[in-house]
Amino acid sequence: MLARLQDLYPKLIDLSLGRLETLLARLGHPERHLPPVVHVAGTNGKGSTCANLRAIGEAAGWRVHVMTSPHLVDVTERFRVAGKLVDEDTLVRVLEEIERVNDGAPITVFEVLTAAGFLLFSRVPADLVILEVGLGGRLDATNVVPKPAVCVITPVSIDHQAFLGETLDVIAGEKAGIIKPGVPVVSAVQDDVALEVIQARAAEKDAPLRVLGRDVTFAETAHGLSYRDAAGDLSLPAPGLKGPHQAGNAALAVAALRMSGLPVPEEAYAGIAATRWPARLQRLEGHLAQLLPEGWELYLDGGHNPGAGEIIGAVMDGWSDRPVHVIAGVKQSKDASGFLSPIVRRAASVQAVSEEGQHMAMTVDEIVAASGGVALAGPTIREALARLAREGGDPARVLICGSLYLAGVALAQDGWVAE
């Protein structure tokens, strides 16, 4: 089905709203008949922030629709309908309906999937929609939603330069393009350049803006997370997602719902403790983990740009109790050197991999070069793990990272199934 749709418009990425707006009009404008929407853009942390939003909503007893991208193993992962992943038969029926209505007009696969999400969500009652931007914001297909309850901008950094621009201010302008007139906005802690652009866009749209680190403060404590904004203080449990950066993602989700005007019970914010999201410092304990010596730990992270590399580096600093071995695979067109630099200098070893079925994978030789010649050729996850097992030694941690597409391959090999 998706391959057939790809034939209608084979260009991989073409940021535009016109094609989708025409299709949605033919479908009866489902994007105008949704529960309250939280629209999430940014460079890093979008998926984790969406997962925290969902956890809070479900802790409130709400039925929550979620649309995220990309999927890791199966396309059904993109759509959670009233709390449950869409089943394949339902999704196929919706895609076939869209194909009939579109009647052969040019359309991208992401636009079709976005339309599918809107149709699914408009037909099943719910209390909240969490909508993750696919790429950028201003011209992303999700930006057809006319008036979200709140807009969220996660940390902005350099990524997707070929589509969004070469400089941080231009990229921030694309992310800030989701801001709508009068709709409240919450921003993560940002570089000054990015924040200036976001503030200007919010002022232009008369959109109330709160910024973490300025209007919203949070800090990790011995018991969890302390949080403060204009509505008051909260004492929260530790976030369910691991890593020092996850406190910010959890606080951003809390701030967004506090600013949305939606009736969230205060106790529901403790839902951040139950947040789960794959390929975000996820501990693997299936088939791949069994290839390592007893007592070793295997983790997976989909981070793939320089900002994510810095975050992973900070995580590795907190893992100083044992060696960390890195297995890295990177997507073509990414700044592999920028991503790997903070990781390589902290790692006990680095192996470069490129898996069959890994979408647009950078070659092993290119990754080795980007590591400054430090990395060894894996050249696959299983072979890299086997090398570490042969070499043995004291218990260590192994981190597979560099690409969400590599993460999808790793999860499939480990036997993971989305729930």
Q: What is the mean pLDDT of residues 319-334?
A: 94
Task: Specify whether the CB–CB gap between 311 and 281 falls below 8 A.
Answer: no
Per the listing, tokens 């680190």 go with: 213
Q: For 101-120, what is each residue's pLDDT tens digit?
A: 999 998 999 999 999 999 99
Identify the pLDDT of residue 135.
82
3-state secondary structure of 75: helix
Mean pLDDT, residues 19-43 taken together: 97
pLDDT of residue 16: 77
Give me the chain's average pLDDT, please.
94
pLDDT band at 264 (very low <50, low <70, confident <90, very high): very high
Query: Coil, strand, or helix at residue 131?
Result: strand
For the sheet containing 297-300, what is the strand order? 282-284, 297-300, 397-401, 324-328, 349-352, 376-377
pLDDT tier at 357 (50, 70, 90 boundaries)?
confident
Architecture of domain 1-274: 3-Layer(aba) Sandwich (3.40)
What is the side-by-side strand order in the sheet with 84-85?
84-85, 79-81, 64-67, 128-132, 37-41, 150-153, 185-187, 209-211
Residue 273 and residue 237 in contact, taking contact as beta carbons nearer than 8 Å: yes
The DSSP letter of residue 216 is B
**Is the pLDDT reported for residue 392 higher than 60?**
yes
Whether residue 136 is predicted with pLDDT greater than 90 in this model: the reply is no
Mean pLDDT, to the nearest integer, of 211-223? Answer: 96
Instruction: Give the number of other Cβ atoms within 10 Å of residue 200's Cβ.
Output: 14
Check residue 190 and give its pLDDT. 95
| Domain locations along the chain | 1-274, 282-414
Beta bridge partners of 282: 300
What mean pLDDT is predicted for residues 199-209? 98
The pLDDT, as a whole number, for residue 419 is: 84
Report how far Cα 341 is from the mean position of its chain's Cα atoms: 22
pLDDT band at 242 (very low <50, low <70, confident <90, very high): very high
Q: pTM (2 decimals)?
A: 0.94
Q: Is the pLDDT of residue 268 over 60?
A: yes
Which superfamily does CATH assign the domain made up of 282-414 to? Mur ligase, C-terminal domain (3.90.190.20)
Mean pLDDT within 128-132: 98
Model confidence at 278: pLDDT above 70: yes
3-state secondary structure 335-368: CHHHHHHHHHCCCCEEEECCCCCCCCECCHHHHH
pLDDT at 9 over 60: no
Share of the chain above pLDDT 90, in %: 87
Find the range with the poorest average confidence among 45-54, 61-70, 105-114, 323-332.
Answer: 105-114
